[in-house]
Chain A
Amino acid sequence: MEWSIGKDEKRYITNMINVDGQLKMSLFTSDDEIITIPDISITNDSKPNRIVINVSGKSQLAHVVKVDDVWWIHLDGRIHMVKSHEINSSKTKQNEGSLLSPMPGTIIEILVKKGQRVRQGQTLMVMEAMKMEHKIQAPKAGKISSLIHEVGQRVDMGVILIEIKE
């Protein structure tokens, strides 16, 4: 299993081995580069969804919950998301030219036609969610090769909205 943090694409690999009832970090690499293994161990806590992390002898509580393939972690006053991936799975799921829906919402306006040339930053589509409008802008210049949806359609987060070819 590989891990990534937040929106960062960098992948990490670790191994946690059981030493006297504690899970101790015994391997930590990132994108094939070996990092000095930090002195970190993890133990279960009596409360559900809580674990204890010990870093160089100093213990702290962390709240954790897993949703889909993401571990949500509350540690030291901040919330983090750590995602698990299959080993060697491709980094970007989306192909460069497709624009994915950034949120669930309704398409209220489409400002371009198939075949039209667009410049970077041009507004292509307007979506509405929670009564607010959000503009979908072109990530790069190119030609609209496909328009998947129609005005009024409700879309989920992460679905392809528009494809742009160089």
Chain B
Amino acid sequence: MIPDWMKGSSNPFSTVLIANRGEIAVRIIQAVKEAGLKSIAIYSDSDNNSLHVEMADYSIHLPGETLLDTYLNIDAIISAAKSSGAEAIHPGYGFLSERADFAKSVSNADLVWIGPSPESIEIMGDKISARKKMIEYDVPIIPGEELIMDNEDFIEPLASAAARVGYPLLLKASAGGGGKGMRSVYEPKNLKSQYEAASREASAAFGNGTIYVERLLNKSRHIEIQILCDKYGNSIHLNERDCSLQRRHQKVIEEAPCPILSKELRHLMGESALKAAKSVDYVGAGTVEFLLSPNGDFFFLEMNTRLQVEHPITELITGIDIVQKQFEIAVGLELGLIQDDIGIIGHAIEARIYAENPSNGFLPATGILSKWIVPTSPGVRLDSGFREGDKITIDFDPMLAKLIVHSSSRNSAIRRLDSALSEFIALGVVTNIGFLRNIINHPLFIRGEITTDFLDNAPDELFLEKEFDPAQLIAIASGAQKLGINKNHRHKNSDDLLNDYNGHESDPFRTLSRNFP
């Protein structure tokens, strides 16, 4: 039986396989459930016990040691969908979400692909072809050029391209994303070493070492526009997100709306984003990223042909459930919204909680979430794929959760975020929670003046935990020890950590409605 909202659709489905893991798989499974559909999860050995597997109606194990065997294995995922009776596949973000060959294989297998066409993905996935389209459709772009490095003698072409583009510059992997394979070069003498690092990172993460050289625009903001397009040529944008607060080109805090964007500029950027989408006959939810220079010029960076990590802030300020909209578009319904329907309600901020050590070069941290109590209060949303007792390993991205707040104004949203972060109890794994609090209490953040170079130039104190009365801390540790508060959870270098401790021994609700695969 199909749910009411799907009536009249050309392409109905009732079961969705989520080709992803972690918080985004959890987010999509929840949306699938709300939509009255059935969810199917996939998981690798290390996710045997993960939340997304627990939540899905049914789950399928993908054997193998590496990502190529599991979350990047197109054939295995398609056969999992076929064997489990899935009728649609949602790719989430990362993994196979921007792989045209995956989108094609899904359609070829007579499954509904919840995303844009393989052609759109292909054009936007390649920085050169995307730039060509943007020029053709009158969307402004940053000066730059691509280098196809097929021989060993790369220094000369690289140096001359760099000279044409001008310093400072950015080296980007053509197939890149998420800050991987990206390096900034301020002086010619660092060009070679930075190129080698970028190209190595790119081939490790994407299997493609082609590099794009681009002018680095200082003191600019990263502004992106969320768009929705249906199959019938209707398209709208859901305003912007300001994602200027980044470390190593990876977003840390995002907010919507941008604190300084005028109505006129929002309109212009929205129009440009829709032009970019139109240039590839885009269908679905997507994001067009721009760099906004201090003088108000903006330049196309790239289009993400998938759901974004930071989509929740847009959902909060517009009241639109983007994942539900993805389902509606995929089944062939009309958008049912026009641009004038889209407003901005209050202000939303997202902080990404990472397992990493800000005072030590953001090195990833591992361990067990021995205590994990997340904040719950009005206007606070937490998207996470973890729960207490889960083991954090180096196998996947270090993002533990997204803490998202919504309030009537920017200032009250900042206060709400600070309060929620201070109530976030994450013990057993080093996190960036204290660092996030330091940032959002920084005068530049409070004044809404953050540009993408903020963390590169920030003072050392920002990265350190605040000093605290040692007597109180020592009293607590010594007192807790004396009171015999808990047994000692020993870290071993073996994989039986979870057998030692899972944090749920006494929780009778844990096994309720649990699906054992």
Q: Which chain B residues (10-62) contact chain A, with CB distance < 8 Å?
A: none
**Residues in A neighbouring B466, C-beta threshold 8 A:** 78
Q: Once the chains bind, are B476 and A64 in contact (CB under 8 Å)?
A: yes
Q: Once the chains bind, are A134 and B476 in contact (CB under 8 Å)?
A: no
Q: Once the chains bind, are B472 and A130 in contact (CB under 8 Å)?
A: no
Query: Taking the nearest CB of chain A, how far is it from the CB of B259, in angstroms?
Result: 25
Query: Taking the nearest CB of chain B, how far is it from the CB of A125, in angstroms?
Result: 13
**Residues in A neighbouring B426, C-beta threshold 8 A:** 79
Q: Which of A43-51, A91-99, A112-120, A141-149 contacts B (4 or more CB under 8 A)?
A: A43-51
**Residues in B neighbouring A131, C-beta threshold 8 A:** 180, 201, 204-205, 397
Residue-wise, chain B 362-386 has the 8 Å CB interface mask toward A (1 for contact) of: 0111111011010000000000000
On chain B, which size bracket covers the interface? 35 or more
Q: Once the chains bind, are A71 and B433 in contact (CB under 8 Å)?
A: no
Residue from B363, B398, B434 with most neighbouring chain A CB atoms (10 Å): B363
Q: Once the chains bind, are A63 and B422 in contact (CB under 8 Å)?
A: no
**Residues in B neighbouring A71, C-beta threshold 8 A:** 476-477, 480-481
**Residues in A neighbouring B474, C-beta threshold 8 A:** 3, 5, 12, 14, 28, 82
On chain A, which size bracket covers the interface? 35 or more
Q: Which of B179, B201, B434, B478 contacts A1 (CB 8 A)?
A: B478
Q: Once the chains bind, are A157 and B485 in contact (CB under 8 Å)?
A: no
Q: Is A133 an interface residue (CB 8 A)?
A: yes
Q: List the count of A-B residue pairs having beta carbons below 8 Å apart.
A: 188
Q: Is B508 an interface residue (CB 8 A)?
A: no
Q: Once the chains bind, are A78 and B490 in contact (CB under 8 Å)?
A: no
**Residues in A neighbouring B434, C-beta threshold 8 A:** 78-79
Q: Once the chains bind, are B483 and A42 in contact (CB under 8 Å)?
A: yes
Q: Which of A1, A35, A82, A108 contacts B476 (CB 8 A)?
A: A82
**Residues in B neighbouring A34, C-beta threshold 8 A:** none
A139 to B359, CA, bound (A): 17
Q: Once the chains bind, are B468 and A66 in contact (CB under 8 Å)?
A: no
A105 to B483, CA, bound (A): 37
Q: Is B396 an interface residue (CB 8 A)?
A: yes
Q: Once the chains bind, are B483 and A23 in contact (CB under 8 Å)?
A: yes
Q: Once the chains bind, are B371 and A65 in contact (CB under 8 Å)?
A: yes
Q: Is B459 an interface residue (CB 8 A)?
A: no
16 contacts between A and B (CB under 8 A): A23-B483, A28-B471, A41-B475, A42-B476, A42-B479, A51-B479, A78-B465, A79-B433, A79-B434, A80-B468, A84-B477, A102-B360, A104-B366, A108-B204, A131-B397, A132-B179
Q: B residues engaging A (CB < 8 A)?
A: 179-180, 197, 200-201, 204-205, 248, 359-361, 363-368, 370-371, 373, 394, 396-398, 421-423, 425-428, 431, 433-434, 437, 465-466, 468-483, 485-486, 488-491, 493
